[in-house]
Amino acid sequence: MSCSCINSTNIGSIDSWCLVWREGDERQSSIEKHNEFTRYRTDASNAIKGVVRFNDCVRLVKWWRYQMQSGSTVFGNDEEDKKVPSFLLILLCARAYDDFSVRKTYPETLAAWFGYLAHVTGNNEDVIFNDYIKKHENPDGDWLVLDPMDDSNNIVGNWSKTKINEIADWFQFARDKMIQAIRHDQEGDDQKSLDCLIELFGNSISNQCKNA
C-alpha cells in the first residue's frame, strides 16, 4: 500500500542544528538543551505502542517543507531565498506532539499533526513551552512561537502576515492531501494514494515507496 511506504527506514538523516532564529539574527542558545527538548519527545514517543518516533516525524515535515518551498512565491530553496526555519518546524511539531502524541503509523500521525497545525497557524495560536521556563513574559507579535530556552526570542517575531498566511495555507493543503492519501490507500487505490504523497513530498517519495 502506498501510504505504508512512509516509515522510519526511509526518512533519512536529520539535518544539523542551525541557531539562526530570525532572518539574519543569530542568538546564543544551548545546543544541549535543544537536543534534550527533542530527545525527551523522541524517547516518550518510542515508548508508545506502534512504530512512530517524534524525531522521524520532524524529518518528514522538513522534507515536506522543502517540497512546499519549491512551489512558493514567498519562500524558496535557492540560496538567496527566504526559508521556513527548521527550528520553527521542530517547535510546531513539538506542540502537535504534546497535544496529540503519535498514532500507530506515520500517515495517521502526519494527518493529525497537519490538521492541528493548520488550526494553530491559521488562528495564530501561541506556541509556548514550559520545559525550562515556567512563567513567561511574552513579547509582542502577531504570532508567538517562543524559544523554549529564551522566551524573549519569538521565532516568527518579524514575520509578515504574508509569511504567516503562507505557512497556514501549506498546513491546510497538507492536511487535506494526507487525508486523501489515507482514504485512497484504504480503498486499495495505490496510485491515487501515491499521487497525493508526491504532491506533499515530491517525486522522490515514489522511489522510496518502490523500495519499501
CATH number of the domain residue 77 falls in: 1.10.1410
Q: What is the pLDDT of residues 150-188, one digit of tens each?
A: 888 899 999 999 999 999 999 999 999 999 999 999 999
Residue 12: inside a domain, yes or no?
no
Question: Residue 140: pLDDT above 90?
Answer: no
d(CA 209, CA 212): 5
Instruction: Judge whether 144 lies within some domain.
Output: yes
Domains: count for the chain: 1
| In a domain? residue 80 | yes
CB 45 within 8 Å of CB 53: yes
* Residue 93 located in a structural domain: yes
CA angle 67, 118, 41 (to 5 degrees): 80
Q: Which domain holds residue 117?
A: 19-171
Q: Kindly report, residue by residue over 12-56, the tens digit of the pLDDT.
A: 433 333 333 344 444 445 788 889 999 999 999 999 988 899 999
Q: Which amino acid is at 157?
A: G
Domain for residue 199, yes or no?
Answer: no
CA distance 46 to 66: 26
State mean pLDDT over 56-85.
Answer: 97
Per-residue pLDDT at 211: 58
Is residue 184 included in any domain, yes or no? no
